[in-house]
Each structure stands twice: as structure tokens, then as C-alpha cells.
Amino acid sequence: MTELVIQAHNLSKQFGTLKAVDNISLKVEKGNIYGFLGPNGCGKSTTIRVLTGLLTPTTGQVEVLGLAIPRQADALRLRIGYMTQKFSLYEDLTVEENLFFMGQIYGLAGIELKARCLEQIDTYGLHALQKQMVGGMSGGEKQRLSLACATINKPELLFLDEPTSAVDPENRRDFWEKLFDLSEQGTTILVTTHYMDEAERCHRLAIMESGAIRADGSPDELMQKMGVNIVEVKTSGLRSLKSKLIANEQVRSAAQLGVRLRVLVYEQIPNPIDWLKSQYPELHNAELTQARPTLEDVFVSVTGASRE
């Protein structure tokens, strides 16, 4: 059996009358990249903060790296890395100074500290920026520095709270390369995101909405057990067609993608293309094709419930 790094049972966190996290249970295996996918305000950050001991859970048990949280949070801090949603290093210090500072905080000193800082500067391509004041750097550069600082203590477990919200797609791809490197070295990574492409890269995924986990599993599993077939319709008058379709009980949802309409039809309809043509005569001359599900479809199909 694989080793569990994070175990949470019936975890809830309440702020006043607001249930930010509502009775979630969670298991994260060692070496995995585990993603929390969900819209803003769905409780992703709160969950991370509870898991790191920054917030005390209202109810439920949490065990991280074999330590009871929040009671043993102090011991945990030496073994984890944390990258906050908002950039949180010192803008009036240079790249090198920030790295040194974080290294010292984690108890590194002398030659060991210098060697580790150089190693991180190498790994994260910060050579040219070494003496630069952080305040003037770009989003991608700041993010690389944040990751370098968060991993300076070689953490067993790394928490990343929306790490790529302020960077462009190219930097995001490079960033994920680094995460896969870390994962291969045995670091467990817990990452929150609201980007589908980013979520697709995770080993496992939990889709969160209103403080609850709506679905979890590997991205492939999630796509397979979705319970809908997808038909792409290419025709004119998509806007009016869309409003007609979503009124149908057998249609889970419909979303427009340029000139196509992506229609999610429940699995109990055996042949969705014929069914659609028979239900809607105006579709006889339209181009209908069955499509492969994407994570966005999964997301839409599991999170709609509370909106209806």
C-alpha cells in the first residue's frame, strides 16, 4: 500500500455563518501532484490553510506527514514548503537576499546555505537576476523565485496556492516542468487552480464547489465516469438553439465554442446525434459530431447542481 501524506476526515471550517469548507475528506499519496480545481471562493485556499495549520478546523481530523494538525504544526513547518497565492517575498530585497533569508529561517548556515542558494538559483534560472531587487521583476520571475524559496528546505510536501494566476502560458508550462521534476524526486505537491489545462496535469484531482468536494480521481477517471455524451453542433443561430437545448431535461448543459455548440447529453440516450436530430428538426442539415470529453466538461457537469 502506498504511503499517505495527507489524511483529512470530515473536515469543516466555519467563519461566522459561512461554511468555507464543508465536511470534506481527503487522502493524498506520497509523490503525487494533487490538484484542487474550483472557482474563486470555493474553499481551496481555506483547505490548504487548515492543512498547514494556519487555520484551526471547526470539526474533523487532519494528519499531515504523520503529524496531528494543528497541534503539531510547529514540527510540520520544517518539513513543508508553501507558496502563497499573492507574492509574499520581500520586494525591497534582492533575489539573492530573499533566498538567503529564507534559507537562514530554515536553519541553514555557512557553506551549506551558500551551496543551497546557488543550487536553487541554478535550478530555477535566476542567475541573471541574482542581484536584482525583487520589486521590479515580472510575474514569471517572481513566481520562479517563490518556488525557489518554498523549496529551499527540500520539503517533503509542497503547498501551492494558485501558483500560476499571475503568469503567462509559456511561464506556466515551464513552471509545471519544475513541478514534475520535484514530483519525480519524491516531493508530494498539493496545488490549487482554476485553470483546466493546469488541472489536467495533476495526478489526482478534487473538484471543489461551495466548500465541498464534488468529484475526485485522476483526470482520466473523472472524464470516463462523467455520465454524459458530448455532441458538437455546427450550425447557424446558435444562441437561440442553445436556450432551446438547455430547456430539455436530457441535456446536461450546452456551451458555445466559436461557431460550434458543445452539448452534453445524458448517457441514458443511447445515440445522442440521432436523438438530437429527431428532437430538433432544424438540426437536419447541421454538422453533428461526437467529441471526446474534456476536463471542462467534467467540471461543468459536476458543479452545476447548486446553481439549479
Out of 10, 59, 61, 88, which residue is the one contacting another protein (CB under 8 A)?
88
Contacts of 29 (CB under 8 A, 6+ apart): 2, 3, 4, 5, 188, 204
Out of 34, 36, 82, 175, which residue is the one contacting another protein (CB under 8 A)?
82
Question: Using CA atoms, how far apart are residues 205 and 6, in angstroms rounded to an integer?
Answer: 14
Exposure string of 68-107, with b = 16+ CB inside 10 Å and e = fewer, is ebbeebeebbeebbbbbeeeebeeeebbbbbbbebbeebe
Minimum distance between the CB of residue 149 and another protein, rounded to whole angstroms?
A: 8
Q: Residue count at the site for another protein (CB under 8 A)?
A: 30
Q: Does 102 bind another protein (CB under 8 A)?
A: yes
DSSP 209: E
Minimum distance between the CB of residue 142 and another protein, rounded to whole angstroms?
A: 12
Q: Does 80 bind another protein (CB under 8 A)?
A: yes
Q: For residue 81, what is its C-alpha cell?
A: 514548503
Stretch that binds another protein, among 99-107, 227-235, 240-248, 278-286 (CB under 8 A): 99-107
Minimum distance between the CB of residue 51 and another protein, rounded to whole angstroms?
A: 11
Stretch that binds another protein, among 101-109, 185-193, 203-211, 233-241 (CB under 8 A): 101-109
Minimum distance between the CB of residue 156 and another protein, rounded to whole angstroms?
A: 14
β-strand pairing of 251-257 with 260-266: antiparallel
Minimum distance between the CB of residue 52 and another protein, rounded to whole angstroms?
A: 6
- Alpha helices by DSSP H, listed for the chain, are 44-51, 73-77, 95-105, 110-123, 139-150, 169-184, 196-200, 219-224, 238-246, 272-279, 295-303
298, burial (CB in 10 Å: exposed 0-12, middle 13-18, buried 19+): buried
| CA neighbor of 40 nearest in space, from 169, 194, 175, 236 | 194
Q: Does 9 bind another protein (CB under 8 A)?
A: no
Task: Name the residue nearer to another protein (CB basis): 113 or 269.
Answer: 113
The pattern of x and - marking residues 169 through 188 that bind another protein according to CB under 8 A reads --------------------
Minimum distance between the CB of residue 141 and another protein, rounded to whole angstroms?
A: 17
Task: Name the residue nearer to another protein (CB basis): 67 or 255.
Answer: 67
Instruction: Restricting to residues 117-136, name those near another protein by CB under 8 A.
Output: none
CA distances to 32, 34, 202 from 183, rounded to whole Å, are 7, 11, 11
Instruction: Restricting to residues 38-77, name those near another protein by CB under 8 A.
Output: 49, 52-56, 70, 73-74, 77
Binding residues (CB under 8 A) for another protein: these are: 49, 52-56, 70, 73-74, 77-78, 80, 82, 84, 86-93, 97, 101-102, 104-107, 109
